[in-house]
Structure 1
C-alpha cells in the first residue's frame, strides 16, 4: 500500500479538524502526529499552532472528560483521576476537572446506582448481594467509604 504524502499545512488542517471534532489531550494529538512521520521541527510547529489557536487546551479537555464520564458513564472520581493520569494530565488540571462535578449530584448518582444495581441482582444472600454491588461500584471508581455508606443504607 502506498503511503500518502501531506504538506505540513495539510497536516496542520487535519489536526485542527481532529481537535475541533472533540476535545483532545496532548497525548492523543501527539499519537496522531506520529502517524505522519514528520521531522521534530514540523511536529513542534504544528503543536505550537494548535496550542496558540486554542485547538488544544488540556484544562478544557480535563473538564469535559470529567463531566462526560461522570454524567454519561456514571464513573466515580477515582476512575476519572486514573484515566486522566493515564493521559498524562497535570495534577492541577485533574483537580480543576473534579470541581466540575457537583458534590450533591455525585452523592445522588451513587445512591441511584446502588438502588438500580440492587434491583437488578437476583442473589438472595444479603452479603453476596452487597459484595456484588460494592465490586460493581469499585470498578466504576467510586470511593470505598461512600460505597459502604450507601450500600449499608439501601441494602437491608
Structure 2
C-alpha cells in the first residue's frame, strides 16, 4: 500500500464518521501532515466516491444546527461561508428549515425570556428579549416583529 493510499484510507474513515466539506478535509489533511499535492488528489477522489458532497453537507449542516443547536439563518450562513460553501448551496441548505418551525423557535425563545426577565423598563426589556435570539443568529427584524407581537398579545 502506497503512502497516498494510506492517507486516502485514513481520510475516508474520517469522512465516514460524519458529513464533511472540502475545506474541513483540506484543514484535516494539513493538520495530519499530508502534502498539499496529495490533499488535492484525495479531495478529488473523495468527491468522485461520494464521501464529500458540498450540497449534502450544506443541507445536513443547516438542518442539524437549526434543530440541535437552535441556530438562526444568519449564524448558519456565516458558518457555511466560513467553510467556503457556494451561495447557491447555502440557499439549498437553508431550504431544509421549515418557516413555521423557524418562527415557532423564535416565539418559544422569546416567550421563555419574557417569563424570566424583569419588565419594569420597557426599552431594556425589549433589548434583553431580542439579544438572545439575535445572538443565536436569528434576523433582528423578524425577532423585533415577534417581540412586538408577543408584547401586544400579553399586554406588556
TM-score by shorter chain over 0.5:
yes
More helix as a share of residues: 2
Gaps (5+ residues) in structure 2?
A: none
Q: How does 1:30-49 map to 2 (within 5 A)?
A: 30-49=26-45
CA distance in 2 between partners of 1:143 and 1:25 (Å): 26
Matched, 1:128 2:124: yes
Matched, 1:111 2:80: no
Post-superposition, which runs of at least 4 consecutive aligned residues in structure 1 deviate over 4 A? none
Residue of 6, 9, 24 corresponding to 2:5: 9
| TM, length-normalised to structure 2 | 0.89
Aligned residues: 151
Q: How well do the aligned residues superpose, as a CA RMSD in angstroms?
A: 1.6
Note the alpha carbon deviations across 1:36-89, whole angstroms, 9 max, x for none: 433443222211111011001111111111001111111111111111111110
Query: Is the 8 Å Cα contact of residues 129 and 147 (structure 2) preserved in structure 1?
Result: yes
Gaps (5+ residues) in structure 1?
A: 1-5
Note the alpha carbon deviations across 1:85-124, whole angstroms, 9 max, x for none: 1111001100100100011111111111111122232453
Q: Which residue of 2 aligns with 1:22?
A: 18
| TM, length-normalised to structure 1 | 0.89
